[in-house]
Amino acid sequence: MTTSAGRVPQVQMLSPDGVFEVPSEYAEYGKYIENLTLDDFLKFYRDMARIRRFDNECTALQRQGQMGLWVPAVGQEAAQIGSGYAVGKNDHMFPSYREHGVAITHGIDLMSIIKMMRGVNHGGWNPEETRFHLYAIVLGTQVLHAAGYAMGVNFDGNVGTGDPEVDQAVITYFGDGATAEGDVSEALLFAAVNKSPLVFFCQNNQWAISSPVSAQTLVPLYLRGEGFGVPGIQVDGNDVLACYAVTAKHMDDARNGLGPSLIEALTYRVGAHTTSDDPSKYRPQEETDYWIARDPITRFEKFLRRQGVGDDFFQEVAQAGDELANEIREATFAMPNPPLENIFKHVYTDPHPLVQEQQAWLENYESSFEEDSK
Query: pLDDT for 1-33, tens place per residue?
Result: 344 444 447 999 999 999 999 999 999 999 999
**Burial class (CB within 10 angstroms; exposed 0-12, middle 13-18, buried 19+) of 157:** exposed
In contact, 248 and 11? CB cutoff 8 Å = no
Query: pLDDT for 328-361, tens place per residue?
Result: 999 999 999 888 888 888 889 898 999 999 999 9
pLDDT over 80 at 374, yes or no: no
Query: pLDDT for 162-193, tens place per residue?
Result: 999 999 999 999 999 999 999 999 999 999 99
The pLDDT-based confidence of 373 (bands split at 50, 70, 90) is low
| Type of residue found at 215 | A
pLDDT over 50 at 55, yes or no: yes
- Strand duo 198-204 + 170-175: pairing: parallel
The pLDDT of residue 13? 97
pTM of structure: 0.93
In contact, 264 and 235? CB cutoff 8 Å = yes
Query: pLDDT for 104-152, tens place per residue?
Result: 999 999 999 999 999 888 888 999 999 999 999 999 999 999 999 999 9
Average pLDDT on 352-371 reads 90
The pLDDT of residue 371? 66
Radius of gyration of the chain from its Cα atoms, rounded to whole angstroms:
22
The pLDDT of residue 7? 46
Active-site residue numbers? Answer: 269, 273, 282
Angstrom distance (rounded) from CA 374 to CA 371: 5
**What torsion, rounded to 10 degrees, do the Cα atoms 182, 222, 237, 141 define?**
-20
The pLDDT of residue 123? 84
Angstrom distance (rounded) from CA 52 to CA 299: 14
Average pLDDT on 323-332 reads 97
pLDDT over 60 at 302, yes or no: yes
Angstrom distance (rounded) from CA 293 to CA 290: 5
